[in-house]
């Protein structure tokens, strides 16, 4: 059974991994130009590692910010 400290430590590690992946997504997309604040916020607020992995792959394959947004369902209206 995990202690409160171990649970907190595991959460901190997961948060750190998620933040790192989100930063990687942003870094790839910035090669296409400046990202909107709302897109950056959306990416940085995502904490699900599986979603972030999908977004990272989509960012690596995309040819534009718009293509990335469409691929992952973040099209801005």
Q: Which sequence spans correspond to the domains of the chain?
A: 4-72
Are 36 and 64 a contacting pair, CB within 8 Å? no
Q: Which strand (E) or helix (H) includes residue 42?
A: helix 37-45
pLDDT digits (tens, 9 = 90+) for 3-61: 887 777 777 777 778 899 999 999 999 999 999 999 999 999 999 999 999 999 999 99
Residue 77 has pLDDT above 60, yes or no: no
What CA–CA distance (Å, rounded) separates 43 from 66? 14
> Would you state the pLDDT for residue 63?
98
Alpha helices (H) along the chain: 4-29, 37-45, 49-61, 65-72
Q: Among 45, 39, 40, which residue's Cα sits nearest to residue 19?
A: 45
Task: Give the global pTM.
Answer: 0.82
């Amino acid at each position: 059974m995990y202690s409160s400290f171990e649970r907190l430590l595991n959460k901190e590690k997961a948060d750190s991994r998620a933040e790192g992946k989100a930063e990687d997504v942003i870094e790839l997309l910035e090669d296409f130009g400046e990202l909107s604040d709302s897109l950056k916020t959306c990416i940085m607020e995502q904490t699900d590692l599986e979603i972030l992995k999908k977004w990272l792959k989509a960012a690596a394959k995309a040819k534009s910010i718009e293509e990335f947004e469409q691929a992952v369902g973040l099209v801005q209206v």
